[in-house]
Amino acid sequence: MVDEGSEEKLVAAAMAGTHDQVVSFITLACKHGKDTHSINISPQATVNDLKEKLQQLTNVLPRGQKLIFKGKVLDINIKLIDAGISNNAKLMMLGSPGIHQGSVAPVKQTANPSSNAASSNASRFKALERTAGTRTFIDNAWAASGIISLRDRRQEVIPKRVWEIGPAARVLDLAGNCLKRFPADVRQLVNLQKLRLSANGLKDEQVDWQGLVTLKHLTTLALDHNLLTRIPSEIGLLSELKVLSVAHNKLVQIAEEIGTFSKLEKLILSHNCLKELPASLGSCYLLAEADFSANFLREIPASLGQITKLKVLNLDHNALKTFPNEVLKGCLELATLSLHGNELTVEYLRQLEGWAEFDIRRRAKHSKQLQFSVLDTSGGFDEGADSQQWHHW
């Protein structure tokens, strides 16, 4: 085990070309597209070890990386030193299309709408608000309907008038703005049922969770297309939640308290950076639809098999090599299972206990879709996974 200080010295020695001691680390430059990444790694490491380090920098899974050194594609099992890779070596990485996982690029803030329609909408709204009579009319409409819509207004701060609606508010839509913070003032909307904060570029520190979780009647919470890295433990206080969407963020952690959502029916956590799911999810007994696609998941908790109401489970584009029997056996209503872009095959799934029963439900759903002509033919009808084994270059 080399401590941080020693590692820096060894790297410095290697860069200086010192040969009077064994070099424990070398520095490599790997070009990927327009970017060049610098990596410190042991020369005794394998090419696969290098790929795992590059995954952290590029969000491309190892199986989707093609590393080239001096015109040759590197075998994943060979050691760097045996491949002739030394300090200051330059490599090139090519990423296979469709193998990007998680949030592969910074989330685009759609808070400043580029479309003419959205821009015109925001300008028209601001022009109307300059008239006191119009403001009164809008406020009265909010109070009467219980629906407060400030969608695509380029708002940086939520107007105080919103909080003054108080208990009359049932829906608050703030999607497509550029909010600098979501304040604790929301606790004044005590009867709020639906809250949409999508596409605001919000970071963890900009959301006052202590205020948000006081909304005891909240059933729908949309936080998709932001820059959040975690779902905090406080969220467990939202006991009435039925729909939760935190897709297209930077999530690396989900609190175990998510398992307290006894009424949750739909959970969307796709396009994040999750490597694992909490086992407590198995306590969300009413969950019918779950989307965990485009993450870095290596395994799925067997506790998901306790969710007998689960109908749809999307796990496309992760790093799964196995799948728990318990899910196929326990999820008695599961009819849609998608595992494309993982390191397992249809042949593997067919051998799992519970597959036969799942296959009957899957085919029944397909037949019903054909009968009513609602089948999505874009992806065709398949068995939920890729037909051939993943292979490395």
Cα distances (angstroms) measured from residue 239 to each of 16, 31, 142, 263: 60, 48, 26, 7
In this prediction the pTM is 0.74
3-state SS assignment for residue 368: helix
DSSP 104: -
Residue 276's pLDDT is 96
The amino acid at residue 159 is P
The closest alpha carbon to 173, from 199, 155, 154, 147, belongs to: 147
- Four-point Cα dihedral 6, 7, 11, 17, nearest 10: 40
3-state SS assignment for residue 136: helix
d(CA 41, CA 80): 9
Residue 109's pLDDT is 44
- Four-point Cα dihedral 156, 161, 162, 167, nearest 10: 160
SS3 string, 160-197, reads HHHHHCHHHCCEEECCCCCCCCECHHHHHCCCCCEEEC
List the chain pLDDT tens, one digit each, 393 residues.
444 444 444 444 444 444 444 568 899 999 998 889 999 999 999 999 998 888 878 878 788 889 999 989 999 899 999 999 999 999 999 886 545 555 544 444 444 444 455 555 555 555 555 555 556 768 889 999 999 999 999 999 999 999 999 999 999 999 999 999 999 999 999 999 999 999 999 999 999 999 999 999 999 999 999 999 999 999 999 999 999 999 999 999 999 999 999 999 999 999 999 999 999 999 999 999 999 999 999 999 999 999 999 999 999 999 999 999 999 999 999 999 999 999 888 899 999 999 999 999 999 887 776 655 544 444 444 566 655 544 333
Residue 183's pLDDT is 97
Q: List the Cα angle 382/387/392 in 5-degree steps.
A: 140
Structural domains for the chain: 4-95 (3.10.20.90), 105-241 (3.80.10.10), 275-393 (3.80.10.10)
Residue 377's pLDDT is 42
d(CA 240, CA 203): 25
Residue 380's pLDDT is 42
At residue 71, φ and ψ (nearest 5 deg) are 85, 0
Residue 107's pLDDT is 43
Residue 362's pLDDT is 92
Decide the pairing of beta strands 26-32 and 90-95.
parallel
d(CA 226, CA 248): 7
d(CA 123, CA 75): 57
Decide the pairing of beta strands 26-32 and 35-41.
antiparallel
d(CA 362, CA 311): 10
